[in-house]
Chain A
Amino acid sequence: EAGVAQSPRYKIIEKRQSVAFWCNPISGHATLYWYQQILGQGPKLLIQFQNNGVVDDSQLPKDRFSAERLKGVDSTLKIQPAKLEDSAVYLCASSLAGIYGYTFGSGTRLTVV
């Protein structure tokens, strides 16, 4: 079974620029998550999708972050404009159902300078 695919692996941008990350979940996994992991901390949930609908985006800074999952499969997370404090690893995860666990992608390491 192919895992959760993410791209790019690394990205360096200047503050106030925009950036987008892409995620392709495991085939058949209806639920998709974006997490932000700041160095030395645990992952923080940003947004949860069920198929192409948003279940929870309460922790997403909506003034600068947006996410979509238009066809219920792959997803993009965008930051515009980026701030220095957005430097983190952005992890995508997918799940068939919580009782089976969650599979994480390799992440995108974002550095804002």
Chain B
Amino acid sequence: ELKVEQNPLFLSMQEGKNYTIYCNYSTTSDRLYWYRQDPGKSLESLFVLLSNGAVKQEGRLMASLDTKARLSTLHITAAVHDLSATYFCAVDQNRDDKIIFGKGTRLHILP
């Protein structure tokens, strides 16, 4: 059974700092997704990573995928308050278009 683990689960950081959120998964997969969720809102797609070594960047966020290590990272550069949200990774284990979510990382950026 696929397990998706994120860490940290909660992160409070100062504006201007860099940090990384980690997503580990338990079985082989080369499809990984990152989502953002604001309080009381739905899930917003950030990145779709579909191969080993995939790297995608949007603004201050950069995501990468290492399928051999079963690890994806979401790196935040020079954080700003507007990035405060909960970030989820999700994995498709069998390329069957069924994604399993981690518990999320609640990010709080202090102005």
Residues of A within 8 A of B (CB): 31, 33, 41-45, 48, 55-56, 91, 93, 95, 97-107
Chain B: CB-nearest residue to A105: B42
Bound: A93/B92 CA distance, A: 15
What's the minimum C-beta distance from B65 to chain A, rounded to whole angstroms? 14
A48 touches B88 (CB 8 A): no
Chain A: CB-nearest residue to B43: A104
Residues of B within 8 A of A (CB): 4, 31, 33, 35, 41-45, 48, 50, 88, 90, 92, 95-104
Partner of A45, one of B33, B45, B98, B102: B98
Q: Which residues of A have CB within 8 Å of B95?
A: 98
Q: Which residues of A have CB within 8 Å of B48?
A: 99-101
Partner of A55, one of B35, B41, B98: B98
What's the minimum C-beta distance from A105 to chain B, rounded to whole angstroms? 6
Partner of A97, one of B97, B98, B100, B104: B97
B43 touches A91 (CB 8 A): yes
Bound: A102/B48 CA distance, A: 9
Q: Which residues of A have CB within 8 Å of B98?
A: 33, 45, 48, 55-56
Chain A: CB-nearest residue to B4: A42
Q: Which residues of A have CB within 8 Å of B97?
A: 31, 48, 95, 97-98
A44 touches B101 (CB 8 A): yes
Chain A: CB-nearest residue to B100: A45
Bound: A33/B42 CA distance, A: 14
